[in-house]
């Protein structure tokens, strides 16, 4: 039996073929061993040095089985024995000659290390042919070596090469295959290579099919939680069917998952063809805390701003177009839908890849949204839902009582309106009608609006606004008509204005019987909806949507600033550094910037004090200048508070009507002035 050349034999060949001395060659061998982190022995390092110097060793045919740490690039016709540690799936690829090739990788281990085996084309079927399984000891014959993936030694099996189950070697001579270590989800990071978990399935996504490079694929996700964190577990292609055998609520044990980051730098887990999954009977195996339960909303009217992890169901009334926008030098996209149940309707904003769901939605279908977040829109004044690609949306008629979504909408009165509500009914009497007028927008376009003045059954006055194509819905109404407006948006009063009803494209109008009496007492919403308090009333001052009225002295100007706002919706924008007075709005894309003022005052009475925010219009009324004048003064003098004459207001007595809301950014309740007298 011929053997592999020894280190000394290789050194003699190098000396003979080059000008290097023996000491030079020995030094290079030692440096190679160090560079390769002691993954090769002296004989293997000698072959690497010879190969780097272009010296052909012409090794004898190697028939003796080598250890993995004896493998070096350039060996041929080798034999190696090891335990199967990984079996990867077959991958297809296109060659330059337009033919299709196939490749499959195996990984073996012995007491000295691990090595990857590459099988090409017809050889990829040897796994099924020999019924190879992980943990078996196998003998690879007729392989050649090269430096492969991640600069690790790789064995390629030749056309005449063989893989056979080894029966003569001792089981104890090879390490057993062990699963990747188990970890809590919160401890998994980008640097984690492979991991095993025990967790509970808290959400499932339907199967998504796709075409990529003219090939069909499919993917599904399980969302798992072990009480420390919630992560996405991804199954691709042939692995998808395995995921479908498990249900929401199952506690699963999954081994050898691959860890990666998505484009948001969030950790995600991928199920591999060498991963294993099974039900676990005991999630407390690692002393995990109780899994947080999702919040299942029974009625849209129960949703409050700041709620997260919501699951809601509604009937699709309409869907909007997908819009793109630029932010931080990246292009984003957003779309929206309107859903309803028997209490009201609500807008759902779909961000990023979540917009892909829109294609599958038809008006009238039932939509179930998982992992939604509720917030109060600065633009519309309504509570809206937001979903991202991390959320799930099921579009189905199954398991839903359809009668629930076709029942009558809630009928409200003006006094019930503390935040904007979409998709409600209201009964009013028309007290005045005004001609439609054109409104010029900053982008050069125009819109038309028509207003009606109305009074509700309690005698509270308000107004109706119909925009553009929706004007035709109210054109037939006359002063004195009593009507029920079905499916409208109602906004609370602001300052000296009463509530506003906004006509929607879905709005329907019913004439009411003549015997219904509307109390036209002249009462305004602002007169009946504000509770007079002193500034030690913490209960009222920390109640979401409370309307409060109080008097005190202006003791301090806490802050004054001007921010860049969208000319369309007054929402804060990101300024374009290259274009003057142009910014990017989350909702309207690239827009003209309009400066807006925000002033915060400290108001003090005999019992306490409060921090009160005055936005643009109220600040203008207080000081008598507009935001453009204020900005010009700041730019000219270089001082942020230059426009403020503090002596004009300090120690003045002021009576304020205000609204209370929770400020998520400051993590506290804030008081916003709606009207004041000084």
**Residue 376: C-alpha distances to residues 305, 372, 488, 634, 675 (Å):** 6, 14, 18, 31, 21
**For the segment 76-101, what is each residue's pLDDT rounded down to a tens digit?**
888 899 888 888 878 777 777 788 88
Torsion angle of C-alpha atoms 656, 658, 662, 666, degrees rounded to 10: -30
pLDDT above 90 covers a percentage of the chain that reads: 11
- The pLDDT value given to residue 527: 43
> Which stretches within 94-174 are classed as H helix?
126-129
Q: How far is CA 422 from CA 3, 350, 474, in A?
A: 84, 18, 18
Ranked by mean pLDDT, the top range of 186-190, 251-255, 603-607, 615-619 is 603-607
pLDDT tens per residue across span 362-387: 877 888 888 788 888 776 677 888 88
Please say whether the beta carbons of 509 and 474 come within 8 A: yes
Residue 523 reports pLDDT greater than 60: no
Terminal C-alpha separation, the chain: 107
For 286, which DSSP code?
A: G
- Domains defined along the chain, listed by start: 7-173 (2.40.50.140), 185-286 (2.40.50.140), 295-406 (2.40.50.140), 411-525 (2.40.50.140), 531-677 (2.40.50.140)
Q: Give pLDDT tens digits for 100-122.
A: 888 888 888 888 888 889 888 88
Residue 612: is its pLDDT beyond 90?
yes
Phi, then psi, of 40 in degrees rounded to 5:
-125, 155
φ, ψ for residue 239, nearest 5 deg? -80, -15
What is the predicted pLDDT for the residue at 291? 47
Higher pLDDT, 299 or 539: 539
Phi-psi region of 474 (alpha: psi -120 to 50; beta: other; left: phi over 0): alpha
Annotate 600-628 with b (16+ C-beta within 10 A) or e (fewer).
Answer: bbebbbeeeebbbbbebbbbbebbebebe
Q: What is the pLDDT of residues 473-506, one digit of tens each?
A: 998 888 888 899 988 888 887 544 578 899 988 8
pTM metric for this prediction: 0.39
How many whole angstroms separate alpha carbon 317 and alpha carbon 346? 10
Query: In this predicted structure, what is the pLDDT of residue 579?
Result: 63
340-353 pLDDT, tens digit per residue, is 887 778 889 988 88
What's the pLDDT score for residue 449?
Answer: 87
What pLDDT, on the 0 to 100 scale, is given for residue 521?
Answer: 41
pLDDT for 159 beyond 60: yes
Q: With beta carbons less than 8 A apart as the criterion, state whether 338 and 318 touch.
A: yes
Report whether pLDDT(125) > 80.
yes
Q: Is the pLDDT of residue 239 over 50?
A: yes
Q: Provide DSSP, 163-211.
A: EEE--SS-GGGSPPP-PPPB--GGG--TT--EEEEEEEEEEE---EEEE
The mean per-residue pLDDT over the stretch 189-195 comes to 78
Q: Quick one: average pLDDT of 390-406? A: 59
Q: Tell the residue number behind the tokens 């706002």, with chain if given.
A: 565
Across the range 214-239, mean pLDDT stands at 85
Of the pLDDT bands very low, low, confident and very high (cuts 50, 70, 90), residue 306 is confident
């Amino acid at each position: 039996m011929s053997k592999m050349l020894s280190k000394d034999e290789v050194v003699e060949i190098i000396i003979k073929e080059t000008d290097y001395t023996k000491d030079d060659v020995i030094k290079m061998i030692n440096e190679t061993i160090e560079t390769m982190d002691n993954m090769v022995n002296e004989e293997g390092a000698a072959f690497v040095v010879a190969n780097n110097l272009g010296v052909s060793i012409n090794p004898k045919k190697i028939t003796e089985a080598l250890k993995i740490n004896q493998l070096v690039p350039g060996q041929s016709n080798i034999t190696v024995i090891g335990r199967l540690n990984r079996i990867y799936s077959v991958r297809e690829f296109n060659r330059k000659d337009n033919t299709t090739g196939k490749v499959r990788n195996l990984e073996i281990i012995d007491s000295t290390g691990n090595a990857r085996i590459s099988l090409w084309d017809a050889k990829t079927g040897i796994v099924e042919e020999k019924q190879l399984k992980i943990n078996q000891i196998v003998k690879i014959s007729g392989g050649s070596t090269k430096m492969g993936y991640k600069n690790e030694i790789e064995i390629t099996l030749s056309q005449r090469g063989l893989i056979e189950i080894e029966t003569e070697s001792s089981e104890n001579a090879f390490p057993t295959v062990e699963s990747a270590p188990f970890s809590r989800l919160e401890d998994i990071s980008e640097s984690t290579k492979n991991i095993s978990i025990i967790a509970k399935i808290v959400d499932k996504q339907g199967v998504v099919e796709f075409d990529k490079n003219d090939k069909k694929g499919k993917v599904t996700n399980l969302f798992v939680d072990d009480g420390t964190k919630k992560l996405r577990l991804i199954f691709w292609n042939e692995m998808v069917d395995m995921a479908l055998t498990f249900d929401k609520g199952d506690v699963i044990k999954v081994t050898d998952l691959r860890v990666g980051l998505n484009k948001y730098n969030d950790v995600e887990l991928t199920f591999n063809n060498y991963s294993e999954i099974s039900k676990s009977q005991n999630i407390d195996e690692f002393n995990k805390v109780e899994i947080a339960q999702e919040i299942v909303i029974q009625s849209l009217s129960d949703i409050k701003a700041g709620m997260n992890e919501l699951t809601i169901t509604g009937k699709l009334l309409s869907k909007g177009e997908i819009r793109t926008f630029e932010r931080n030098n990246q292009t984003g996209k957003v779309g929206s839908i309107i859903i309803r149940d028997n209490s009201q309707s609500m807008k759902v904003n779909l961000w990023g890849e979540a917009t892909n769901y829109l294609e599958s939605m038809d008006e009238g279908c039932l939509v179930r949204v998982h992992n939604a977040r509720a917030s109060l829109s600065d633009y519309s004044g309504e509570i809206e839902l937001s979903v991202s690609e991390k959320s799930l949306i099921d579009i189905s008629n199954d398991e839903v009582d359809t009668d629930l979504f076709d029942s009558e909408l809630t009928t409200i009165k003006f006094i019930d309106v503390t935040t904007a509500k979409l998709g409600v009914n209201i009964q009013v009497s028309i007290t005045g009608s005004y001609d439609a007028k054109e409104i010029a927008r900053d982008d050069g376009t125009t819109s038309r609006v028509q207003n009606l003045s109305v009074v509700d059954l309690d005698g509270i006055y308000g107004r109706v606004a119909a925009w553009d194509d929706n004007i035709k819905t109210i054109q037939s109404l006359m002063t004195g008509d009593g009507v029920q407006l079905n499916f409208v948006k109602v906004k609370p009063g602001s300052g000296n204005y009463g509530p506003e009803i906004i006509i929607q494209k879905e709005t329907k109008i019913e004439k009411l019987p003549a015997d219904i009496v509307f109390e036209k007492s002249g009462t305004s919403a602002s007169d009946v909806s504000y509770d007079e308090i002193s500034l030690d009333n913490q209960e009222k001052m920390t109640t979401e949507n409370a309307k409060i009225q109080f008097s005190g002295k202006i003791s301090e100007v806490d802050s004054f600033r001007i921010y860049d706002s969208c000319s369309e919706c007054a929402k804060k924008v990101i300024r374009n550094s290259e274009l003057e007075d142009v910014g990017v709005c989350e909702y309207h894309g690239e827009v003209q910037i309009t400066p807006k003022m925000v002033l915060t005052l400290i108001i003090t009475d005999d019992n306490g004090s409060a921090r009160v925010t005055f936005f643009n219009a109220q600040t203008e009324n207080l000081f008598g200048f507009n935001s453009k004048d204020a900005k010009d003064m700041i730019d000219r003098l270089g001082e942020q508070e230059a426009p403020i004459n503090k002596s004009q207001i300090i120690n003045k007595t002021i009576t304020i009507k205000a609204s209370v809301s929770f400020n998520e950014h400051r993590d506290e309740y804030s008081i916003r002035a709606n009207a004041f007298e000084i």
